[in-house]
Every structure is written in structure tokens, then in C-alpha cells.
Chain A
Amino acid sequence: MSEERVGFFTDTSVCIGCKACEVACKEWNAIPEDGLSLTAMSYDNTQALGASTWRHVAFIEQPRPEGRTELPLAQGESTAQETPVGGDGELRWLMSSDVCKHCTHAACLDVCPTGSLFRTEFGTVVVQEDICNGCGYCVPACPYGVIEQRPHDGRAFKCTMCYDRLGAGREPACAKACPTESIQFGPLDELRERAALRVDQLHEAGVTDARLYGHDPDDGVGGDGAFFLLLDRPEVYGLPPDPVVTTRDLPAMWQHAGTAALSLLGGLAACFALTGRGRR
């Protein structure tokens, strides 16, 4: 890595769900449209990250009365009348822009048999379209469900953190387009410091739900190059609670495969030894 490692800090506490990141990403990277159907999942018609979706804004509507100070809007009986006709208590609307995590230990990169996926000088993980041969191994390897093969093409695509823009000294398109600085781009060390301060600030303000996700270099993927400030458990946003890079266990797997192969060899040898030579 010849340059400083850079990344994203996505502070979902200030995301307004405008989806400018999704559009900027598609415009800059010339990604095809991938579906024109209404999902009825709040305002999320994108559904998930994928071959043609490198930023995805999740919308979560939660009934969540506790922990919030409500000022009565009017005196008298109006509050007493708040007997719901249906389940209509207080609710909160969580929005969060998801992206490739650019893991420190990236399973997609590890398992790629062609060398198409590589670690750039910025510490990011990028697929080289001309080398990818469409084997699809990276897809189930990713613990976050980020990378995907494009239908009718077969090759895998995902966020490049705008590798071309980084090379020209520019920030990625999504961060540039974000109007609230929910998506922050910069040197990873700086972002981690900033994120820790932000969590403290939110805790002091009474937002006890605030937590960081993917910031810890000691987690199962060695820390994410794109990490998040969330207001609920990761799984609520469709993120795995405790992802582990699958290749962490690869030495053990090879060992067991070797032992199993030897067992096969030994077992069959034993059969021949037991049954002897010739016609039996």
C-alpha cells in the first residue's frame, strides 16, 4: 500500500434518505438500471447491494417510544385521546446508506482464483472487470452479501470506492453527493477518531442506541474500510452482527481435507489388504 489507507465513515444518525449517494454512484460508474418494481419496504425500492447497486439506502420504520422526551403539543384532553385506532404510537424512521466494507481481511479477494480482485494502493478492494472470469466464488464468500454477478454477463461487480476518482485525488462520488455528510470519506485513522467522538457526543445527548459497526481492527474481518454509526443492532439494517472472514479457518480446512484424503487412501488400502490379491 503506497498511499494512506482511506475509507468511508457512514454516520447513519444524519442520513436523510435522499438516495443522492445511490444516484451519484450509478451516474459516475455508469451502472445499469436494475429493476423498476415497488417493494413496499418503506421507501426502499433498491432492496440490497448487488452487481448493479453499490450504494443502498435502507429505510426502517420502527415503533420506538422509549428514551425520547415528548413535549405535549396541546394542553388538556388531546393527549388523553391518544388511544390508538391502530398501532400508531411514536415511531422512528432509520435510514442508512450501505456500501462495500473494503475489509482488512477480504474473503472475496482471498478466494478469487484469477487475481481479478486485488488490494489497491489505497487499501481498498477492487475487481478488475477484464480479469474476472465469472466463477462466482467471491459471491458466497462475502460475509456481508455485497459482491454479486451481473445476470447475462456472469462477472462480479461491486463498489470500487471510485478507484478512478481516488487516483485523481478526488473523493468518491457518493461522499461528494451526500448533502448531510452522513457519508464521510478520508484516511481511515482519522475517520475512526472522528467516529469515536461522534458516538460520545450522541451518548451525551441521550442517544444511547448509537454504536459503531465495523470500526474495530480486532473484529472478524480485521476491521472494515467502510464502517458505520448505527442506531440499532446491525441485523436490523441487514448487516451481519459478527462477520468473520471465512479464510480465517482455511488452514484448518486444508488440514482436515488432507487428513480426509489420507483416510480415504488408508481406508481403501485397508480394504485391499483385507481382501488380498486376485479374484475375490
Chain B
Amino acid sequence: MAQLDGDCKGYFLMGENPAVGSANTRLQRLGMANLDWLVVRDFSLIESATWWKDGPEIETGELRTEDIGTEVFFFPAAAHTEKSGSFTNTNRWVQWHHQAVEPEGDARSDLWFMYHLGRRIKEELAGSTDPMDRPVLDLVWDYPVDGELDEPAADAVLAEISGHGPGGDPLSAYTELKDDGSTRCGCWIYCGVYADGVNQAARKKPEWEQDWVAAEWAWAWPANRRILYNRASAAPDGTPWSERKKYVWWDPGQGRWTGRDVPDFVPDRAPDFEPDEDATGPDALRGDDPFIMQADGKGWLYTPAGLEDGPLPTHYEPQDSPFPNALHPSTPRNPVRHLMPREGNRYHPSGDEKGAEVFPYVVTTHRLTEHFTAGGMSRWSEYLSELQPEFFCEVSPALARERGLENGGWATIVTARNAVEARVLVTDRIRPLRVEGRAVHQIGLPFHWGPNGVARGDAANELMAIALDPNAHIQEDKALTADIRAGRRPRGPDLPKLVAEYRSRAGITPDTGTEVRK
């Protein structure tokens, strides 16, 4: 939106493809067309890199290449096999991978790009007396480079993030960090990933040479702790709840917590410890308060502060919904949802509102095993593309009959934002929803496709409105309403004409769907 308003002038895209993967892709592209510059780093010429010459709006005539002021830079990116670095998974394991081959052609790692960009900016600004440039000039930017490509040593970056003590020795854990400026660390949760000057994330000790916790496989943030709040695996008195599943417990002999994992607790705080009345911070936690990151050391069912909407969840209908809200009839949708009503991002009438019947079906988007998100890594792979070669919509036999859709044929799906065409897959797996005594048909759309690559197709996100949840600002692209009709979509200027015709038939105004309450 800031791009469309002209406030945002530049955009770095590294491994991201908003022209396919973000809600209301047409508006995403129009936003990029309003930038001064755009940098795309990816393996292939993804849709976000080529919209200015062959994007859907060029075809419809809404954009003309010669009118677009955005300067677009494309940098081919090196793949994970072509560079060293780390993956962090949702288990919090930081797992190192080693470079196997040199990147081909002009492809470079993201680290190479950021390091040399920083170096060149510093060179450019050298000698400047402008106080604005001071922080950049003062930045220490001295990573060692290696090989013909001057690849920065990823290892050195990891060591810096892990941190160093006053004498330059590697830190072992975040507990060694001081607030007096004597220690350095890139990010406290990663402190210790380079303990003892060894890349702990690169440890690959096989499972048969260690116990089932596998503490010596890679490294887990923070402090190589595999399970958080593991003090809770012991009863308040410090003995394991279950002998069979014992994990971390109090060793009275040594006066310390011990066990399979790194204890997530003050190491020598006894189970029966009671803090002084005037103690503050972590010192105020009792010996049987396992949730040490919470102010009171207790497990929380909800957070009492900090949420835009909360603390407890309730039911709201999606932004575009065929139903009123049975739970809160006066407040169909979340009253603090984040909407961005503007030209190109119009919302649908919902529930019993007039015009809702123009978009009578529910659309949900989903993924396929064969493709990865917006397709930049899979739609250019022949082996993956041949397994799921084309964009399709999944409909029930009943909806197929209702709308004359044929298995293997074409269908056009329309919302107030855009229309896409998809091959039809008629399947009993898609069932009509039955809500309030009414049956509503569903349409399933895998969202991976775009017009570029080996496997091509329209992007399902063309159909989405930008509507965000109030807490985490996640786009709502899993539930919306739409119409479906047999046949392919119109080409050229006829496409926006069709969508405009739908908007007018549904009586959509700038205010439609934006109300807080009914």
C-alpha cells in the first residue's frame, strides 16, 4: 500500500515472489510498478522479476512497459548446495550445510550479495562528514573472504553472531553476556552456537553414537536446549513425574539440576527455593516455577497484554463469507481486522447482504506436495513440474453439474479483485459445506502457479483481497467467496471488464465489507 501511495521507493526480494504468493497479486504488481527500484534475487526469472514486460497487466493493457518507472535489478542466487550456511527449523535446530559446488555463472549467495553491497556502500561513503552516514562508516564490516568469488566466510559470521567475551574468547552461553559493554553478541538466542571456537551447528554425530535426545546433532537455540521449559518434566519437588520419561530433575547430592537435556532453569535453584519478598526479575522465581520467561514463572493459557485482539479467541466469519455470524449476529467479522479498502482491493458483500449471491461459492487455497510456496524452487524443475503441471480447481461432482464443469476442462473463477482460469478436477474429496441448513459449494485452489517457468498457470492469489488479522497481520487467503463458470477467462482488456461487471452486479462500493458492526 505504501508502494501504491508512493511512500515506499525501493524493494528487496530475496527468495520471495509476491506476484504469485501474496494476496491480491495484481495490486502487488501495481505496487512494484510504482517503485523507483526493485531488486530480485532468485534462482530463476520469477514473476516478481518480469511483470514489467510480460505480466498479466501488460496483457490487459493496464500497464505499458514504457510507462513503468521502476528500475528492476535481477541477481541470480546461489542454491543451498552452492554455499555454506545454516538452516533453522521449527524445532529450533540450527543445522549447518557445507558448500558442495561453486555457483554457476553470475549466481552468488545472499551472504555474498549483502557483504559486498555493504562494502561498496562504505567505499562510496568514505570521507563523508554527513552525520547521517556516520553509523554506516562506523560499522565493522571485515569478514574474511575466500576463493575466486570472494565469498565471505559464513563461519565467521556465525562466530560473530554467537559472540565474544572481553578477551575475544568465544562465549558459551547467553548467561555469560554482560550489560557493561565487555561482551559482544549478534543475537542472544544464538549465543554459544560457536562455543569453544567450534561450529556447534555443524556437528553431525550419528544417532547410534549418542542418546535419543541427540544433543550433539547440530545445535538448538537457546543454549543447545532441545525442549524449552524442561523443568516442567519434573514434579514441583524436583523428581521426575515419570521414571520412564524422566528428562530433567534435581540432583540433591550435587545441589544442581541435571538430566538428559540442558536444564531450562537456574542451575542451582532448589525445588523448595522461595524468593525474598523484595526480589525482582528472575531472582523472584520460586524453585517450582518452571516457566522462567514469564514474569510469574507460571504457564499461561493466554496473554493478558500486547494483543490487538484478545485475550481469548472467538468466532468471526472471514472477510468475504456466504454466511452471517451465528455466534455474534451483530458483529459478523472481527471488528479490529486490518482492512485496506482501495481501488483494486474491493471486498464482497457477505452473508445476507444484497449482492452476496453474485459470489455464491467458497474458495479455499491449499498447497501440493509437488510444489513449494510461490513455485520459484519447483515450477522451474522439470521433475516436479511434470508431477503437477497445471493450475487446477477442485470441485465436487454436484458443483460440476450445477455449473456445467467437465473433469479436465477449463473453469474461470471470479472475485471482485480479478478472475483466473484453471483446469477442472472433479472429485468427491471436495464436499459442500452445510451451515445453518444451507449447503454451499467449495472450490479448492492450489496457489503455486504463475505465468513463468516450466509449469505455468494463473495465480490463485489474484482472487484474494488484502485483509489482515489484527494480531499477526497474516493475509486472509484461506477462505473467501467467488463465482465459478465453465470455460477459459477472457483475454486482454476483456478481463478487467468482466471483473468490473461482477463488481457492479454485486453492487460493490468502496464501503462494502468495511463496516465494524452491522
Contacts and interface: CB of A to CB of B under 8 A. Distances in A.
A166 interface: no
Contacts of B429: 61, 91, 93
A88 interface: yes
Contacts of B439: 85
B387 A86 contact: no
A38 B393 CA distance: 12
A19 B369 contact: yes
A45 B398 contact: no
Contact of B383 (A27, A43, A45, A88): A27
A194 B386 CA distance: 34
A45 B424 contact: no
Interface stretch (A29-37, A104-112, A200-208, A238-246): A29-37
Interface string B359-384: 00000000011100000000000111
A35 B455 CA distance: 11
Contact of B388 (A26, A40, A43): A43
A46 interface: yes
A63 interface: yes
Given A39-B408, A86-B401, A46 B396 contact: no
Given A85-B398, A86-B396, A88-B431, A38 B384 contact: no
Q: Which residue, of A17, A35, A86, has the highest number of chain B Cβ atoms within 10 A?
A: A86
A197 interface: no
Given A23-B384, A33-B383, A35-B386, A40 B370 contact: no
Contact of B369 (A18, A26, A84, A87): A18
B244 interface: no
A46 B387 contact: yes
Contacts of B397: 86-88
B432 A85 contact: yes
Nearest to A24: B383
Contacts of A22: 383, 387
B454 A36 contact: yes
B434 interface: yes
A42 B392 CA distance: 11
A69 interface: no
Contacts of B426: 40
A-side interface mostly: loop
A63 B397 CA distance: 13
B403 to A, nearest CB: 12
B389 A45 contact: yes
Interface string A72-104: 000000100100111111010100000000000
Interface in B418-456: 423-429, 431-432, 434, 437, 439, 441, 454-455
A40 B454 CA distance: 19
B84 to A, nearest CB: 23
Nearest to A52: B386
B322 to A, nearest CB: 15
B356 interface: no
A36 B432 contact: no
Contacts of B432: 85-86, 88
Interface residues of B, number: 35
Contacts of B434: 78, 81
Q: Which residue, of A17, A37, A38, A87, has the highest number of chain B Cβ atoms within 10 A?
A: A38
Q: Which residue, of B370, B387, B399, has the highest number of chain A Cβ atoms within 10 A?
A: B387
B399 A45 contact: no
A61 B387 contact: no
A63 B408 CA distance: 20
Nearest to A36: B389
Q: Which residue, of A17, A18, A88, has the highest number of chain B Cβ atoms within 10 A?
A: A88
Contacts of A18: 369
B388 A45 contact: yes
Nearest to B381: A23
Contact of A40 (B401, B408, B441): B408
A53 to B, nearest CB: 9
Nearest to B432: A85
Contact of A61 (B369, B428, B437): B428
A27 B382 CA distance: 11
Contact of B425 (A40, A84, A87): A40
A61 B427 contact: yes
Nearest to B370: A19
Nearest to B384: A23
Contacts of A27: 383
B86 interface: no
Contact of B399 (A23, A38, A78, A86): A86
Nearest to A88: B431
Given A17-B369, A19-B370, A38 B423 contact: yes
B389 to A, nearest CB: 4
B426 to A, nearest CB: 8
A26 B425 CA distance: 26
Given A35-B389, A45-B386, 8 more contacts: A19-B369, A22-B383, A23-B384, A33-B385, A40-B423, A42-B425, A81-B434, A91-B429
Interface of B: 368-370, 382-390, 392, 396-399, 401, 407-408, 423-429, 431-432, 434, 437, 439, 441, 454-455
15 contacts: A18-B369, A19-B370, A23-B383, A23-B384, A33-B385, A35-B389, A36-B455, A39-B408, A40-B407, A40-B425, A45-B387, A85-B398, A86-B397, A86-B432, A93-B429
The 9 A-B pairs of least Cβ separation, nearest first, read: A86-B398, A40-B408, A33-B382, A38-B390, A36-B389, A86-B397, A85-B398, A85-B432, A40-B407
